[in-house]
Structures are given as structure tokens and as C-alpha cells.
Amino acid sequence: MADTLNAFVTGYPIGHSRSPLIHGHWLKSYGLNGSYRAIGVAPENFSDFVKGIRQSGFVGGNVTIPHKEAAFGLVCKRDAAAEEIGAVNTLWFEEGELWGGNTDAYGFAANLDALSAGWDKGRNALVLGAGGASRAIVYALKQRGFTEVRIVNRTLDRAQELAHRFGPGISAHPWRAIPELIPDANLVVNTTSLGMEGKSEQQMDLSNADGDALVTDIVYVPLETPLLRAARARGLKVVDGLGMLLHQAAPGFERWFGKRPAVTSELRELVLADMAKPVAGGQAR
């Protein structure tokens, strides 16, 4: 029998990760001889962990918060998306060398392709937030032909830095500019942690939004964020963030286990059921 192919997800903390559930589902569905497990690694140990991946018997793995930028600096080679985004979320070996890729932009676009075909016909996008997640979204939007990407952020400097990084067509704006920017947007994307469970309610007036605009959020806990709720109430198209999580996992799975997995409604239901499970303290996670 062939050796088991072993992969991992590492972050710190890592207990919240649903990646083992997603990859475990695919391994079982396709009857593959593989494993995928979560490994918590503190920042001070991350470099040693990466150096030991091969020796520990892994064919690769995923990297999540807070290690994505550190992983960028530790790999031998990077794919174009990782290079542009400045962060790595997927590791694998090619001809003995450790490669780092970034599948977040792919996951974002693939989810919209699946749930709102034609979303990339728009040219004007409004992106809320300018952190690590926003970089992947802005890259995806540029790749998919958006010529006017407006980034708003509470801290204007960070939006300016991002706009500068991605060049022509990408501009930075203060948070208060949102009402003026909304009417032109074909697509509104929230990348901030506002609206996440436990954070304060996000107030967003969408009354003057274009009736054909699509509104999406990369936050998926809760599934319906305040922004998506406001968009739905206004009759706009909405796509939640859970599909991005599912789609971003697919390219890594294919690299490690040799099979391109499908993102199905069964998988989505599995993750939703897990999210509904109560955890210590009585809250759903």
C-alpha cells in the first residue's frame, strides 16, 4: 500500500480552524490515503516548524493567522499570487524545494463565480478594510478586470499603502467617504472584522446603492453579517463569506493529494453544522 500523504494547517491559536473538517471530508469522499491535521505553532517556533516540514513526513499544508507573512519569507519559491499579496497560505514541495502560494484571491473569485456568475462584469468595486485579507481581495479584483477599486479604511494610511502597492486604478479613501462612493460601486466587499460575532454592529447605509450591485463579506461568522443583512433588506444581491473558505482550500488539496476536490452543498452543510455546535461557555463557534 502506498504511504499515507500527510498535510496540516498551522496557526496560533488553531483550535478554531475548520480546515481539518473540510479536508477530512474530501479525503473520505474520494477514498484517499491521506491525513490533514491542525498544529498550533507559536510565532517564535514557526521558522523551525517550517524547516522541519519534510522531516516530519508532511507533503505540505496550510498556514493561517498569524503566520502568513512569516511563511512568505521562509519558502524557496512563491507563486504569482503570493508574490503580489505578500502572504502565503499554502505550502507544498516541488523538486525538493518548498513552495508557498496564496489561494485566498482564488477562493474569493471562485466563490463569486459559483454563486453570482457575471459578478466580474462590473468595473467599480468598493473594498472596506486595508488589512491582510484586503490585499488578497484587491489582487483578485485587479486580476478579474476591475479598473476602479476604492479602498476605504478607518486608518487611511493603510489604505494608501495598499493603493500604492497595487498601482493605477486603486485608490484610498477615508471611512467617512463611503456614502459618496457607494452609488458608483458594482461590487461592495467587506474585509474588516467589523460585523464579526462579538464586535460592534456595523452601520452601513446602502439606500443610494446601485440596484444591481453585489454585496459580499469575507467574514462568515456570523453567516449573515450586518452588512449583508442591510444589503438583503435593500433588495441587493448578496453572497456570504463561507464559500471563500471552502474554495480557497481546493488548490492545496489537489497539490497534496492529487485530486481536485469539489465544493458541494454537502460540504457547506457540514461546516454550517459545525458552526452551530455549542462550545464551552455556551456560544456557537
Interface ranges with ligand ATR (CB under 6 A) = 129-134, 153-155, 158, 191-194
Q: Cβ closer to ligand ATR: 62 or 134? A: 134
Burial class (CB in 10 A: 0-12, 13-18, 19+), 161: middle
Strands 90-94, 97-101: pairing is antiparallel
Report helix, strand or coil for 187. Answer: strand
- Least gap, CB of 196 to ligand ATR (angstroms): 9
Q: Which residues of 113-150 are buried (b: 16+ CB within 10 A; e: fewer)?
A: eeeeeebbebebbbbbbbebbbbbbbbbbbebebebbb
Identity of the residue, 5 or 133, whose beta carbon is nearer to ligand ATR in the bound complex:
133
* Residue whose CB is less far from ligand ATR, 35 or 193: 193
According to DSSP, residue 43 is labeled: G
Q: Compute the distance between CA of residue 162 and CA of residue 15 in angstroms, rounded to an integer.
A: 30
Nearest distance, CB of residue 246 and ligand ATR, angstroms: 18
Instruction: Give residue for cell 456614502.
Output: 179
The single-letter code of the amino acid at 244 is M
Catalytic residue among 68, 142, 259, 277: 68
DSSP code, position 12: S
Q: Which residue is nearest to ligand ATR (CB)?
A: 131
Q: Which is nearer to ligand ATR, 25 or 104 (CB)?
A: 104
Contact 211, 237 (CB under 8 A): no
Beta bridge partner(s), residue 239: 216
Q: How far is the CB of 284 from ligand ATR (least distance, A)?
A: 21
Query: Are the C-beta atoms of residues 246 and 271 closer than 8 Å to each other?
Result: yes
Q: How far is the CB of 162 from ligand ATR (least distance, A)?
A: 9
How many CB atoms are closer than 10 A to CB 178?
A: 18
Note if 277 is an active site residue: no
Smallest separation (angstroms) from ligand ATR to the CB of 239: 18
- Cα–Cα distance for residue pair 47/28, rounded to 1 Å: 31
Just list the catalytic residues: 68
